[in-house]
A = this chain, B = another copy of it.
Amino acid sequence: MTDRFDHFEVNDVRFPTSRTLDGSDAMNTAPDYSAAYLVAHTTGGEAGHGFVFTIGRGNEVAATAIRAVEPLVVGLGVDDVLSDMGGFWKRLTHDSQLRWLGPEKGVMHMAIGAVVNAIWDLYARRQRQPLWKLLADLTPGQVVELVDFRHLSDVLSPEEAQEILTRAAPGKQERERRLLADGYPAYNTSAGWLGYSDEKVLDLVGAALSQGFSHLKLKVGADIERDAGRLKLVRDLVGPDIKLSIDANQVWDVGEAITDIARLSPFGLYWVEEPTSPDDIMGHARIARAIAPVRVATGEHVANRVVFKQMLASNAVGVCQIDACRVGGVNENVAILLLAAKFGVPVCPHAGGVGLCEIVQHLSMFDYVALSGSTEGRWIEFVDHLHEHFVDPVQVVNGRYLAPTRPGAGTEMRPESVSDFAFPTGRAWQELSYTV
């Protein structure tokens, strides 16, 4: 009998991170890192895992959105889906009724991304490969078939994508060998949360240096003089050779961004992340011209490949920050990686939160082996939070992500974490309700 998709199991899982201000920044002042967590089950007993990452309130909306996708998937043959992942992506994204709720943006699109990622996780498990390896072993033609070129073709055609991939093919084996031996560079954000005291930041910066990181990121944007003071303290501690980037999390308007970045530039900035609204392509382009050679970075809140297309084509970003769980999953991120490769812009993924490191590392590793061919000027974000809740947590050693070797996309949460942090009924939330 043909294996089919049988049902979705969806959980609202939340971690009370706002109690310690882990993850705090100028826009996201008190996040409770959360996941609308999906296990997609087949009739044959296989399962794939994916999630929407949120920061607390509204996680139930994302869970409802995942459930809205379930009827489009249940009943489909597993082999049919896995042999045409590009077609599967289109089936979900172009559903004529669900599409109205975006289109291709916001909660509904993130939910589709979670479903797509879950099916890729299942696919990689079935192939007994980590996701990065499954993707890297596809032929250029197979990669092109994953991508929806609708609304991209004025800037990137299937033929050009095929050329880019074909050009990158030589050296794949050698790069895979080096990836397995040396891992992939990481940068560290754990030290620089806005809600931490200067003392705590300096302690954590010291710890990050001793762990081998050579690129650190600090949150800014609440108070420019406090930002300048903290940056000076950190630069004095780390010396001139450590790369320092800053992240304003969208709080500035365009003019304000240019003024404030000028105030902070003397401390030596590598990139400035999310200087303004993630929807403001023209604003990012203006900021990029004003602050060069400091780079503008954005992407964790960029809604889809059409916005990335414009950001890249207009030189609005010098660093392209994909997020595994914002756009429509693996397929759309492959499109964005292709766009970045076309424009020669390095991809440095957004990670942290809960589970974002675990999944997004696969995309950067695929990018290195099969597409960009380089780790130069590229780092995956690393934040040392909540990895213990995953069955196959990332391993970051001496400032580098070790290439995962276990089958799957890294997206499986430990069952006890899912039950303990279920919101609001799980043990962790019940205990907190006694102590508030």
Min CB–CB distance A288 → chain B (angstroms): 14
- Contact (Cβ within 8 A) A60 B68: yes
- A253 contact from B58, B153, B310, Cβ within 8 A: B153
Q: Please give, as numbers and ranges, the residues of chain B lying within 8 Å of A303 by CB-CB distance.
A: 105-106, 279, 303
- Extra pairs beyond A29-B96, A105-B106, A154-B254 (13, CB < 8 Å): A28-B99, A30-B96, A55-B96, A57-B98, A58-B100, A61-B61, A61-B68, A61-B108, A101-B107, A151-B283, A153-B253, A279-B306, A283-B310
Q: List the 4 closest pairs (A to B, CB-CB), nearest first.
A: A106-B106, A154-B254, A57-B97, A56-B97
Determine the residue in chain B with the shortest Cβ distance to A30.
Answer: B96
CA distance A55 to B103 in the complex (A): 12
Q: Please give, as numbers and ranges, the residues of chain B lying within 8 Å of A28 by CB-CB distance.
A: 96-97, 99-100
A-B contact pairs, 27 of them (CB 8 A): A27-B96, A28-B100, A29-B96, A30-B96, A54-B97, A54-B100, A54-B101, A55-B100, A57-B97, A58-B101, A61-B61, A61-B68, A61-B107, A101-B107, A103-B278, A106-B107, A107-B108, A151-B250, A151-B283, A152-B253, A277-B306, A279-B303, A279-B306, A280-B310, A281-B281, A283-B310, A303-B303
Q: Please give, as numbers and ranges, the residues of chain B lying within 8 Å of A301 by CB-CB distance.
A: 103
- A97 contact from B58, B100, B103, B154, Cβ within 8 A: B58
Q: Does A169 sit within 8 A of B, measured CB to CB?
A: no
- Contact (Cβ within 8 A) A277 B151: yes
Q: Please give, as numbers and ranges, the residues of chain B lying within 8 Å of A56 by CB-CB distance.
A: 97
Encode contact with B along A313-357: 1 for CB under 8 Å, 0 otherwise. 110000000000000000000000000000000000000000000
Q: Does A276 sit within 8 A of B, measured CB to CB?
A: yes
Determine the residue in chain B with the shortest Cβ distance to A278.
Answer: B103
Q: Does A307 sit within 8 A of B, measured CB to CB?
A: yes
Q: Does A150 sit within 8 A of B, measured CB to CB?
A: yes
CA distance A104 to B101 in the complex (A): 13
In chain A between 259 and 314, which residues have their CB closer than 8 angstroms to a CB of chain B? 276-283, 286, 301, 303-304, 306-307, 309-310, 313-314
Copies in the complex: 2
CA distance A153 to B313 in the complex (A): 24
Which A residues are closer than 8 A to B by beta carbons? 27-32, 54-58, 60-62, 64-65, 68, 71, 95-111, 149-154, 250, 253-256, 276-283, 286, 301, 303-304, 306-307, 309-310, 313-314
A28, A61, A68, A101 pick with most chain B CB within 10 angstroms: A61
A58, A276, A277 pick with most chain B CB within 10 angstroms: A58
- Contact (Cβ within 8 A) A314 B107: no
CA distance A74 to B104 in the complex (A): 31
Determine the residue in chain B with the shortest Cβ distance to A326.
Answer: B100
CA distance A436 to B100 in the complex (A): 25
Min CB–CB distance A241 → chain B (angstroms): 35
Q: Please give, as numbers and ranges, the residues of chain B lying within 8 Å of A65 by CB-CB distance.
A: 58, 61, 107
- Contact (Cβ within 8 A) A151 B61: no
Q: Please give, as numbers and ranges, the residues of chain B lying within 8 Å of A254 by CB-CB distance.
A: 153-154
Q: Please give, as numbers and ranges, the residues of chain B lying within 8 Å of A304 by CB-CB distance.
A: 279
- Contact (Cβ within 8 A) A282 B310: yes
CA distance A279 to B98 in the complex (A): 17
Q: Please give, as numbers and ranges, the residues of chain B lying within 8 Å of A29 by CB-CB distance.
A: 96
Given the interface contacts A304-B279, A306-B277, does A55 sit within 8 Å of B107 by beta carbon? no
A254, A255, A280 pick with most chain B CB within 10 angstroms: A280
Given the interface contacts A106-B102, A106-B106, A108-B61, does A96 sit within 8 Å of B31 by beta carbon? yes
